[in-house]
Structure 1
C-alpha cells in the first residue's frame, strides 16, 4: 500500500508504491511477541534517507515508535512501546521490528514509511490483530418446577474476554429458547453471555441441553452438555406403606415405611403419633417405624413428615389393633406336626404288617424272601417201602421227618406242612412241589391259615400217648461193629417203614 498527494497516480508514482513490501495482516496473542516485516525493493536511483514505524491505534492518535537513520542510527521516541520494540537488522533496506510482551491495546495499524529522494515518502501498512482466547464456561441454574407457565432460566453459557467475539448456540430436547448478549471490555475484548429459558415441569427430568461455543482462536467448537434432571426441583411427596389391617395383639415386628420423593431428595424424615407420646414398643430407624410387639398402645394414627429445601410434605395412617384368634405364624407348624404324625403312624403300621406276614410264612414252612425255610429248596425226602428190620407197620398219620443241609445230622418234624385238603396224606412229590412253588402260588395258601392251625392241633392231639412210629437201633455190635445202615442215617416214614436218608436227594 502507498499514500500519494495526487488524485491521479502517474506511472512513476505507481511504480514507487510497490517498492515497500509488508505483510498486510498479522495475528498475535497477548503476552507473546510479534515480528513486523518491511523491505524496500527495486530502489534504482532512489536515495533512501530515513525509515520510521508509525503506530495508529484503533481509537486515538498516531505515534512514532521507531526510527532508523543511516548516520544517526536507531531511535525510539516516547511511546507505549518503550522497552518493548527493537529493530531486527537495523538497515535501510530491511528495517523490520519486533514487539514483545504484547497487550490487547497494541492492536492497530503499523506503517513502515521511507523518506526518499527525489520520490518523497513511500510506505506500507500492516494491520496487527491481537486475538484473545475466551474463558468458556457453562452451568445449570437451580429452579423450581413452574406452575405459572412462564419460562425461566434453566442453564447459562459464557465466553468471557475473547477477541474477536465468540458465538454461542444451544441444542436440546426440551424445546426451550435462548437469549444472547455481549459486552465489550476496555482492552478491546468481548464477553458473550447466553441463557436457556424453559417452562420447567417434572416431565423434563432426565432431558439434556447443550451449549456450544465457537471462536476464532479455537480449533473446533467447545460443547457443554447439561442434564436438567438434577436441577429441575420440586417439593417432596410422601406416602406410608406396610400397614396390612392385621395388627393383632402379640404380633411382632410390624413395620411402616415412609416413602418420599423430591428434587432435591428429602433429607429430613420425622415420625409422630397423633395420640401424643410415641409408644414404648415402637422403634424409629430412618424412614421406618418398627413395632416390636403390637399392643393397645399402637392403636393410634402415625404421621410421617419429610422436608427438602423447597417444602414440607406429610402423610398419615391409622392402625387398628385387633384381638388375636390364631397366630398365623404358628398355623403352619401345627399343620406340619399333624401331617408328620399321620405319616409316622402309617409307616409303623406298614412295618408291623410286613413283620406279621413274614412270621406267618416262616411258621408255615417258607419265608417271604424265597430262602429255604422248614422245607427248603434243597431237602432230602424219604418214603416208599418199609424196612424189614426196623419196620413197625403202617402209620400213615405219623409225622414226616426231613434232613436239612443247613443243620446236618438233625432230625426235624414238620406236621402237615403239605397244603392239601384236610385229612389227606402228602406224598414226597407233593412236599417237593410245595417247597419249590413261587411266591404267587404260596400266597394262595394264606387263606387256609386258620384251617392249617386247626390241622396242627389235630395232629398234636392225635400223637398224645402213642408209641413213636419209628425205632432206630444200633447194630454195630450185632454185625461185628459194622452196620449196613448207620442209625443216624435211618428215618421212620408214615407208612411204618424206615429208610436211609440217602435214598432220595433233591
Structure 2
C-alpha cells in the first residue's frame, strides 16, 4: 500500500469518527446560553434523546470557570442516587427531576463567580460518554453615580465632573452631554467577583464664566431598560469681582438721598462688605447699609473717592469711585414752580375751551331759533305788516292802505306777499280790524298795528270828510296787478317804532 493510500484511509476514518461524535452529541439536549443575576436562581436543563439500544449508566454536571479547569458539582446514579461533591455549590444545587432521562439541575443564591460553562455528561454503554454544554452568563446591574468636582479658577486643565458605573457586568458605557469646550477619559477596573467598574472624568480649564454651567453624564448597560442620565452644574470658585453702581455724574449741591450700591461676583458668596473713603473716614452725611451707601445730603464733604471692598473665603476684591460735587444749576424748587405753571396753563386752557364751547352752543341754538317755526323763537317766520303814513303833495290826505307781506329770515333780501293771509275774506277787501283779528299775527305785532291805526285816526279826524264824499275813511288793501308780486327791498323804509313800511303809495 502506498503512502498516499494510507493517508486517504486515515482521513476517511477520522471523518467517520467525527460524524459519529456529532450524532452522539446531538442526543444530549441542553440550552446554549442562559443569563442570571446575583442572589437569583437558574435552571440548567439537560435531556438524553433517542437512546435506542444505548444503555444510560450515570449522568454528571461539571463546572468549568476557566478553559480546562473542570469541577464535578452534581452526579446522579440510578442505584446510588444524587451526589454533590463540590463544596462551593454545597446546599445551592439540586436535581429537579432525579432521573437519567432528565437530569436538569437548579442553582440558587447565585454568585458572580458562578459564571462559566456547565457540562451535562452521560456515561453510556456501549457508546461511551456523551455531553452537552451550557454557558451561564452572570449579569450585574451597575451602581451608577455622578457629581461635579469643585475647583478654583485657574489656567490649568483639571477634572470638573466625574461619572461612575460600579460593578456591572457586562461593562457599562459612559458618555457626556455639555456645551463646554473640554475633554473626557474612561477607565475600566475588573473586580474580583467578575464585574467591571467604569469611571469617566470631564476636564476643562476652569474660569468664573464656567461656574454654574450644565453638564450631563449618561450611562448605558445591558441590564438597564433605558439610559440613566445625571445632570449637573459645575462649581468653579473664585474671589470677588467688585463693581459700584448708582453714580449718575449729577451730584449737585443740596441734592438729597444719592445712593451707591456695591455689587460683587464671587463663589463662595461674599462674607464681608466694607465702605471707606480714600481721604479717611466717611463724611457725616453718609450712611452705610450693608452693600448700600446712602448720601442724605450732597455737600462739599462728599467730594471724595469712595472704596468698596468685598471678601470671601478665597480672597478679596475692591472698587473705587471718585464722586464729583457740582454747583446747582437751577433752584431745587424750580421744578415745583414749573410744574405749577404748567398745571395753571392747562387749567386756563380747559376754562377757555369750556367758555368757547358754551358760546358756540348758544349761537348754534339761536340760529336754530331764527330758522324755526313761530313756537321755537321770536324771529321765526312771523307775518310782518308793511305800509305807513304818507301825505300826498297835493294835500289829498294819507294813504294808509297797502298789501300785507311776510318777511322770512331764511330768504334774506326778499319780501313775499301772503296771498292767503286772510282766507276767510274772499269777496271783499280786509279792513285793519280784520287784519288784527288774523290768527297769523302775534301779540307784539298786533300792538304795533293798533298804535299805528290810532295815529292814523287822529290825523284823519282833523281832515274834512268832504274829500271822500262825506264818507268815513276806510282802510282797504288793494293788490297789485300781479296778485302775489313782492315789493323790492329798496322800496321799504324803517320806522322809529321798529316797523318797516313801503314807500309806494296806494290810493283808494
Q: What TM-score does the superposition give when structure 2 sets the normalisation length?
A: 0.63
Q: CA deviation at 1:180?
A: 1.5
Equivalent residues of 2:257, 2:294 under 8 A apart: yes
Q: Secondary structure at the match of 2:87?
A: coil
Residue number in structure 2 paired with 1:384? 389
Partners of 2:355 and 2:96 in 1: CA distance: 125
Partners of 1:85 and 1:110 in 2: CA distance: 12
Of 3, 23, 30, 1:22 maps to 30
Aligned counterparts, 1:95-174, within 5 A: 95-147=103-155, 150-170=156-176, 172-174=178-180
Q: Secondary structure at the match of 2:38?
A: coil
Aligned counterparts, 1:460-479, within 5 A: none
> Deviation string for 1:414-437 (max 9, x for gaps)?
xxxxxxxxxxxxxxxxxx99x989
Partners of 2:273 and 2:27 in 1: CA distance: 85
Q: Secondary structure at the match of 1:15?
A: helix
User: In structure 2, do the counterparts of structure 1 residues 203 and 275 end up closer, same or farther at CA, with 3 Å as the change threshold?
Assistant: closer
Q: CA deviation at 1:82?
A: 1.9
Partners of 2:348 and 2:53 in 1: CA distance: 139
Q: CA deviation at 1:263?
A: 4.8
Of 247, 252, 259, 1:255 maps to 259
Number of residue pairs matched by the alignment: 395
| Segment drifting more, 236-245 vs 130-139 | 236-245
Matched, 1:237 2:241: yes
Residue number in structure 2 paired with 1:87? 95
Residue number in structure 2 paired with 1:272? 276
Of 184, 194, 198, 1:178 maps to 184
Equivalent residues of 1:490, 1:498 under 8 A apart: no
Residue number in structure 1 paired with 2:197? 191
Equivalent residues of 2:212, 2:236 under 8 A apart: no
Partners of 1:9 and 1:22 in 2: CA distance: 24
Residue number in structure 2 paired with 1:51? 59
Residue number in structure 2 paired with 1:331? 334
User: In structure 2, do the counterparts of structure 1 residues 139 and 346 end up closer, same or farther at CA, with 3 Å as the change threshold?
Assistant: closer
Of 33, 39, 64, 1:31 maps to 39
Q: CA deviation at 1:172?
A: 4.5
Name stretches of at least 5 consecutive residues in structure 2 with no aligned partner: 1-12, 357-365, 371-377, 392-405, 413-446, 462-476, 478-498, 502-508
Q: CA deviation at 1:197?
A: 1.9
Partners of 2:354 and 2:123 in 1: CA distance: 137
Q: Secondary structure at the match of 2:129?
A: strand
Equivalent residues of 2:212, 2:235 under 8 A apart: no
Q: Secondary structure at the match of 2:23?
A: helix
Q: Secondary structure at the match of 1:80?
A: helix
User: In structure 2, do the counterparts of structure 1 residues 70 and 247 end up closer, same or farther at CA, with 3 Å as the change threshold?
Assistant: same
Q: CA deviation at 1:255?
A: 1.2
> Deviation string for 1:179-226 (max 9, x for gaps)?
211111111111011112223345657865544433332345444455
Q: CA deviation at 1:111?
A: 1.8
Residue number in structure 1 paired with 2:505? none
User: In structure 2, do the counterparts of structure 1 residues 369 and 120 end up closer, same or farther at CA, with 3 Å as the change threshold?
Assistant: closer
Q: CA deviation at 1:137?
A: 2.3
Partners of 1:497 and 1:302 in 2: CA distance: 112
Aligned counterparts, 1:218-237, within 5 A: 218-226=224-232, 230-237=234-241
Partners of 2:348 and 2:86 in 1: CA distance: 123
| Segment drifting more, 337-346 vs 21-30 | 337-346
Q: CA deviation at 1:238?
A: 1.9
| Segment drifting more, 8-17 vs 82-91 | 8-17
User: In structure 2, do the counterparts of structure 1 residues 168 and 382 end up closer, same or farther at CA, with 3 Å as the change threshold?
Assistant: same
Aligned counterparts, 1:237-386, within 5 A: 237-263=241-267, 266=270, 268-279=272-283, 281-324=285-328, 326-328=330-332, 330-338=333-341, 384=389
Partners of 1:79 and 1:209 in 2: CA distance: 50
Q: Secondary structure at the match of 1:42?
A: coil
Partners of 2:20 and 2:353 in 1: CA distance: 139
Equivalent residues of 1:164, 1:190 under 8 A apart: yes
Q: Secondary structure at the match of 2:89?
A: coil
Of 47, 50, 60, 1:42 maps to 50
Equivalent residues of 1:109, 1:125 under 8 A apart: yes
Q: What TM-score does the superposition give when structure 1 sets the normalisation length?
A: 0.63
User: In structure 2, do the counterparts of structure 1 residues 338 and 133 end up closer, same or farther at CA, with 3 Å as the change threshold?
Assistant: closer
Backbone CA RMSD of aligned residues? 4.9
